[in-house]
Structures are given as structure tokens and as C-alpha cells.
A and B are shown apart, each in its own frame.
Chain A
């Protein structure tokens, strides 16, 4: 058996082992690679940064499930820290049933780091079923959709929500989603109500959102862990996203090396098998 054939028949468990090592080592030996900010992330950061402190709240829709948590939770933490740092009020909600616990965890963890008060500086509305109905309904009256917050307090009793009736009173909505929820915010909040919308999505989904970004339907976009790391850099609070970048760099490089080795071995094996004088078909 030639070298190329041996490579092509390598036990895939060796590849799994290589990936495991490549993911793990950078967490213990950080490379500290610099993360350069890209325009879509800068735009979203600027949109949050321009919000008035202690005025109309930002609506953060944490629409992800545990499967996409590693990519999207760093985004929610970075955005929440940015808001709390600047005294921008935040209303958090979710359109995903599994997002309830994750949204609550993110907002409470971020709030612990700052001198902020529930009901005055931030609120958690919880989950309501029916993506399009929820988004459209909030454009008419938020209280029709969320009469109470997640803990049963009527919205009128939360100082933060007084004077907040619909999207006219919300300067910016950001959806962090590992599914089509972020698109739904474009369809049902931007399009009928001209609500300013930003999004944070997984890396594989990010390519789908460039048309919205290009058309101005999204004010900014965070794509995958890289997007989170860029935002963390802008708020000068490196955390999970920045740490994950080293692993992701090594993994991407390793996958490209594996593809190159696989292709080299494939063509060498094919050439060896080709009949002499016949060339490669």
C-alpha cells in the first residue's frame, strides 16, 4: 500500500484526536491573537453606543438554544455589558422556548457585574410562543403580548417600562439567534414598523444575512464567535469570545491542512492507479 493510500484509509479516530487536541490546547496556552474589528460589528457597536443613557430601552431578544450557546452567549454578555456600562436600559425577551433560561442567566450574570437594579435599569419579559405574532403584536402594544414580566409583575409596575408602548418607544432591537428568528425581526419589525434591527447569528448563518445588511434592513451584524470577540474588543472586556478565537484559529487551520493532505493523497493515489501512458483522466 502506497503512502497516499495509507493516508486515505487513516482511521478517523486519529482525526478526532487531532481536533480534540487542537481545540483544547489554546485554552491552556492562549495565543493572544489580535482580533480586528470588521464594519458590520462596528456598525452594531455604534448603534448601541449612540443610545441615550437612562432613556428609551434597547430590546435584546435572546433567541438561541443551548446548541448554539458557545457562539451566541458571548455576544449577549458583551452587548449587555456595553449597555450597563453606558447606563442604557435593556429589556430582554426570547422567542425560543429553550431561550428562557439562557436569557435569564445572561442578563442576571451581566447585571451582577454592575450597579443596576431590576425594573429600573433592566427587565426580563420571558418567552411567548408564536414568532411572527409576537413581533407584530409588539409593534401595536407590547402589553398585549407581554402583560407581565417573567416573574409575574405587570409591566406598568416596572419603572423602566413606563412610557414604553410599542416600537415607537424602542430605539433599537437586537436579536441573537441560531435559527430564523433574526430574519423574522427583519420581516415583521423592520419592514412594517421601520424598527431599527441588529442581529447576532452563528457563523454558518452569517452569510444569509449579508443581503439584509447591504439593504440597510439590519443596522449591524455579529457573525459567530468572531463577531462576539470583535464586540468584546470594542467594549474592552475580553471574555469567552476572545478566548474561543485562538481555538477556532487553530481548528480552521487544521481543517485546511487536512483538506490539503486529503486532496494530495487522493490525486497521488489516482495517478498511481492510472494505466501507464494513459495519463490522468
Chain B
């Protein structure tokens, strides 16, 4: 019983405090907010530790259970342990040009950039195969996308001087109006969810399927 009530009580107390502190311009409240933010940062740092432990456990079990794709787990663990070793124990670990920094810049950066750049090829292929003017809505989307794609690159300026202006209009009028509507809806949803969590109505965050 206490395992559920204490977290609920803490959530209520801190949730209410962090909400009302905006409206109380007193130094004692500001001091408490400062302290809570520092606690929050410490807690968030533990999330990284939790993530690392979870990753190690996942790959360790795959290797132990001789999973078919365990070779990838070896690579993942070797990479993780190498970077942890270089990050924690190398004497120049936090200096520019350190082995940690070199590994990051020369291994991780090209790998991630390459993975992301592949998207251009798939987007082009998908656009060719799937972007069809089947309905009025799809046609509007297609026309707007084509105008914005051309209006956002210098070649659009050369094709027709009206393209950049049309692009600006699309971004600043229909796009802005729809985005603002979505954001207001999301904001209201966030407020109601936050209230439900603070008041203990929504308890999914505690786990256990309650």
C-alpha cells in the first residue's frame, strides 16, 4: 500500500508546488524551486545510468542465450565498454583531440550521418511510387509540397520569382494556422494529463497496470 501511496503523495506535493510557485514572488519559494531543479537534474543523470545498465543487461542476455543476432550484441557491448573506458579512465578524457573525442568524431559521426542521409534516397523512391494526386486533398498536398520544395531552394528563385513568395505565404498562413491549432490542442491535452497525474487519477506512470 505504501509503495503506491508515497509516490502518489510526492507527485501531488511537488506537482502542486511547481505549479503554484509561478504565482508566488517570494524568495523562500524561489529558493525551494532552485533546490528542486537541482534535485531534478541529479535524478535525470541517473536515467543515463539506468539506460546503460539496461542496455548491458539486454545484450548480455542475448549473448548468454546464444541468440541468432548475438554478433551485433558483441559489437554493441564492445563499443559501449570502449567508450566508457576512454571516457572515464584516459588521462586526457575531457580534452579536445582525446581518444574519446577522436572515436566519437571519426566513428559515430560518420555512421549516424550516413544512416540519416540514406533517407534522401528512400524519400525520392517513395515520392515516385506513392505520392499520387488521387483525391482533391492529395492533389492540394502535392501542389503545396512542390511549391515549398522549389521555393526553399535557389533554383526556385530562377524558375519564377513568385515561387519564394508563394512558399512564404504557404508557411506563414495555412501552415501557421494549422500548426497553431494543433499546438493549442496539444497544450490543452498536456495540461489535462498533467492535472490527472498530479491528482492521482492517471497512474500508468507507476507501472503495474493499475
Q: How far is the CB of A97 from chain B (nearest CB, A)?
A: 7
Residues of A contacting B105 in the complex (Cβ-Cβ under 8 angstroms): 101, 105
Interface pair B155/A253, CB less than 8 Å apart: yes
Nearest A residue (CB) for B119? A67
Instruction: Decide yes or no whether B154 CB sits under 8 A from chain A.
Output: yes
Interface pair A249/B121, CB less than 8 Å apart: no
> Which of the four size classes fits the interface of chain B?
35 or more
Given A19-B121, A69-B113, A255-B149: A211 in contact with B104 (beta carbons within 8 A):
no
How far apart are the CA atoms of A262 and B134 in the complex, in Å? Answer: 12
Interface pair B41/A128, CB less than 8 Å apart: yes
Q: Which of A19-37 contact B (CB under 8 A)?
A: 19-20, 23, 31, 33-36
Interface pair A207/B179, CB less than 8 Å apart: yes
Interface pair A133/B40, CB less than 8 Å apart: yes
Q: How far is the CB of B55 from chain A (nearest CB, A)?
A: 14
Interface pair B41/A134, CB less than 8 Å apart: yes
Residues of B contacting A19 in the complex (Cβ-Cβ under 8 angstroms): 120-121, 124
Residues of A contacting B180 in the complex (Cβ-Cβ under 8 angstroms): 211
Instruction: Decide yes or no whether B125 CB sits under 8 A from chain A.
Output: yes
Interface pair A104/B154, CB less than 8 Å apart: no
Binds B, one of A46-54, A75-83, A85-93, A136-144: A136-144
Interface pair A226/B153, CB less than 8 Å apart: yes
Residues of B contacting A261 in the complex (Cβ-Cβ under 8 angstroms): 128
Per-position 1/0 for B126-162, Cβ under 8 A of A: 0111011100000000100010011011111110000
Interface pair B124/A245, CB less than 8 Å apart: no
Interface pair B183/A211, CB less than 8 Å apart: yes
Instruction: Decide yes or no whether B71 CB sits under 8 A from chain A.
Output: no
Interface pair B124/A136, CB less than 8 Å apart: no
Nearest A residue (CB) for B183? A211
Interface pair B109/A249, CB less than 8 Å apart: no
Interface pair A16/B121, CB less than 8 Å apart: yes
Instruction: Decide yes or no whether A251 CB sits under 8 A from chain B.
Output: yes
Size of A's binding interface in residues, CB under 8 A: 70
Interface pair B104/A101, CB less than 8 Å apart: yes
**CB < 8 Å neighbour of B127 from A150, A253, A255:** A255
Interface pair B132/A129, CB less than 8 Å apart: no
Interface pair A104/B150, CB less than 8 Å apart: no
Interface pair B113/A70, CB less than 8 Å apart: yes
Nearest A residue (CB) for B38? A144
Interface pair B128/A23, CB less than 8 Å apart: no
Interface pair A15/B155, CB less than 8 Å apart: no
How far apart are the CA atoms of A266 and B111 in the complex, in Å? Answer: 37
Interface pair B155/A129, CB less than 8 Å apart: no
Nearest B residue (CB) for A245? B154
Interface pair B109/A66, CB less than 8 Å apart: yes
Instruction: Decide yes or no whether B123 CB sits under 8 A from chain A.
Output: yes
Interface pair B37/A144, CB less than 8 Å apart: yes
Instruction: Decide yes or no whether A273 CB sits under 8 A from chain B.
Output: no
Instruction: Decide yes or no whether B20 CB sits under 8 A from chain A.
Output: no
**CB < 8 Å neighbour of B41 from A16, A133, A210, A258:** A133
Interface pair B48/A97, CB less than 8 Å apart: yes
Residues of B contacting A105 in the complex (Cβ-Cβ under 8 angstroms): 105
Residues of B contacting A203 in the complex (Cβ-Cβ under 8 angstroms): 152
Instruction: Decide yes or no whether A256 CB sits under 8 A from chain B.
Output: yes
How far apart are the CA atoms of A68 and B168 in the complex, in Å? Answer: 24
Residues of A contacting B94 in the complex (Cβ-Cβ under 8 angstroms): 150-152
Q: List 15 A-B contacts (CB under 8 A).
A: A23-B120, A33-B155, A66-B111, A101-B105, A134-B41, A140-B30, A206-B171, A226-B152, A249-B155, A249-B156, A258-B127, A262-B128, A262-B132, A263-B131, A263-B132
Give me the interface of A with B, judged by CB distance under 8 Å.
8, 12, 15-16, 18-20, 23, 31, 33-36, 38, 65-70, 97-98, 101-102, 104-105, 108, 128-130, 133-134, 136-137, 140-141, 144-145, 150-152, 192, 203, 206-208, 210-211, 214, 223-224, 226, 229, 245-246, 248-256, 258-259, 261-263, 266
Given pairs A38-B164, A259-B131, 18 additional interface contacts (CB within 8 A): A16-B125, A66-B111, A66-B112, A97-B48, A98-B108, A101-B101, A129-B45, A129-B48, A133-B40, A133-B44, A210-B176, A229-B154, A249-B156, A252-B150, A253-B155, A255-B127, A259-B142, A262-B127
Give me the interface of B with A, judged by CB distance under 8 Å.
22, 30, 33-34, 37-38, 40-41, 43-45, 47-48, 94-96, 101, 104-105, 108-113, 115-117, 120-121, 123-125, 127-129, 131-133, 142, 146, 149-150, 152-158, 164, 168, 171-172, 175-176, 179-180, 183
Name the 3 nearest CB pairs between A and B, nearest first: A33-B154, A66-B112, A130-B44
